[in-house]
Amino acid sequence: MALTDIQDRVSKAEAKAGRTPGSVHLIAVSKMQPNDRVATILDQGHRLFGENRVQEAAGKWPDFRETYGQIAVDLIGPLQTNKARQAMELFQSIHTLDRPKLANTIGRLAQEMGACPTLYIQVNTGEEPQKAGVLPNETDAFVASCRALDLPVEGLMCIPPVDEEPALHFALLAKMADRNGLTNLSMGMSGDFETAIALGATHIRVGSAIFGERP
Ligand SMILES: *Cc1c(COP(=O)(O)O)cnc(C)c1O
C-alpha cells in the first residue's frame, strides 16, 4: 500500500536523523485526486490532508467529515484575501501566509471569529519571480509584524525551485525558523521528503507518492 510505504519511509528517515518517532506529520496532499482515492486513504485511518484551492476543498471535505468524523485539512496553496474567511472556517492550518495584506485580513477576521487556524509563513527561498512567498531577507520583519497582529504563526514553509538541490533550501528555511523562534517547518514533497526530514521538517506535504499521479 502506498500510504503504509510512505509512513515506513518517514519512520526510517526520522530514525536515521535521530528525530523523535512520530515527530514528522504526514500531510496527504489530495488536490485534484478523485474522491475514491481519497476515501481509500481515509479508510486506512489517515486524518491529515492538504489542499491547494479553497473552492476545491470546500466541495469535498464537508461530506468526508460527515462520513468519517474529524479530519484535519491544511491549505498549502495561495490564498486570496476575499477567500480568507472561508479558508479560516475550513482549514486547521494555512501554510501560505505570504504578504502583509493577507496578514491584516486574517488578523481582523480572527478577532471577529474568535478563532484562527495555525499559520505558516511561506518563504520564497529561491527568490523566483513567479513564486509566492516573502523573500528571505524580508522574513524576520514579516514574522515580527505577524506577531504584532497576534497571529498564531507556528512555522515556515517553502517550495524549492524544481531545478535546484532542495537540501540547500530546506537548510536555509530551518535556519530562518530557528532564529525567529519558530518550531514548525513545512517542507518536503514526494520527491524529497526524506531530505526534508533530515533537515528538520515537522510537516511534509506528500501527494503523488501516496495517491498516484494527479489526473
Ligand atoms: C501539490 C503540492 C504538493 C505535493 O506534491 P507531490 O509532488 O505530489 O508530492 C506539496 N506542496 C505543495 C505546495 C503542492 O502544491
Confidence of residue 94 (pLDDT cuts 50, 70, 90): very high
Kindly state if the Cβ of 173 falls inside 6 Å of ligand 1.
no
Kindly state if the Cβ of 207 falls inside 6 Å of ligand 1.
yes
pLDDT at 13 (0 to 100): 98
Residue ID of nearest Cα to ligand 1 atom 7: 190
Distances (CA, A) of 47 to 29, 65, 137, 213: 11, 10, 35, 21
Find out whether 105 and 113 touch, Cβ atoms under 8 Å.
Answer: no
Identity at 70, one-letter amino acid code: Q
* Mean pLDDT for the stretch of residues 34-50: 98
Kindly state if the Cβ of 146 falls inside 6 Å of ligand 1.
no
Using the predicted structure, report yes or no on whether residue 31 has a pLDDT greater than 80. yes
Confidence of residue 4 (pLDDT cuts 50, 70, 90): very high
| Cα three-residue angle 213-97-104, rounded to 5 degrees | 150
pLDDT cut 90: percent of the chain above it:
99
| Cα three-residue angle 39-96-214, rounded to 5 degrees | 35
- Residue 211 CA to residue 178 CA, distance in Å, equals 33
Q: Spell out the SS3 assignment of 134-203.
A: ECHHHHHHHHHHHHHCCCCEEEEECCCCCCCCHHHHHHHHHHHHHHCCCCEEECCCCCCHHHHHHCCCCE
Report how far ligand 1's centroid is from the alpha carbon of 112 (Å): 32
pLDDT cut 70: percent of the chain above it:
100
Kindly state if the Cβ of 208 falls inside 6 Å of ligand 1.
yes
Number of helices (H), then strands (E), in the chain: 9, 8
pLDDT at 77 (0 to 100): 98
* Structural domains in the chain (count): 1
Confidence of residue 20 (pLDDT cuts 50, 70, 90): very high
CA 121 to the chain's CA centroid = 10
* Mean pLDDT for the stretch of residues 42-58: 98
User: Where does residue 178 fall: left (phi above 0), alpha (psi -120 to 50 degrees), or beta otherwise?
Assistant: alpha
Q: Which tens digit of pLDDT belongs to each residue from 184-196? A: 999 999 999 999 9
State which ligand 1 atom lies nearest to the alpha carbon of 206. 9
* Mean pLDDT for the stretch of residues 27-47: 98
Using the predicted structure, report yes or no on whether residue 145 has a pLDDT greater than 90. yes
Q: State the CATH number of the domain containing residue 170.
A: 3.20.20.10
Q: Which tens digit of pLDDT belongs to each residue from 163-174? A: 999 999 999 999
Q: Which tens digit of pLDDT belongs to each residue from 205-214? A: 999 999 999 9
Query: Comparing C-alpha atoms, which of 175, 170, 212 is closest to residue 24?
Result: 170
Domain with 71, as residue range(s), is 2-211
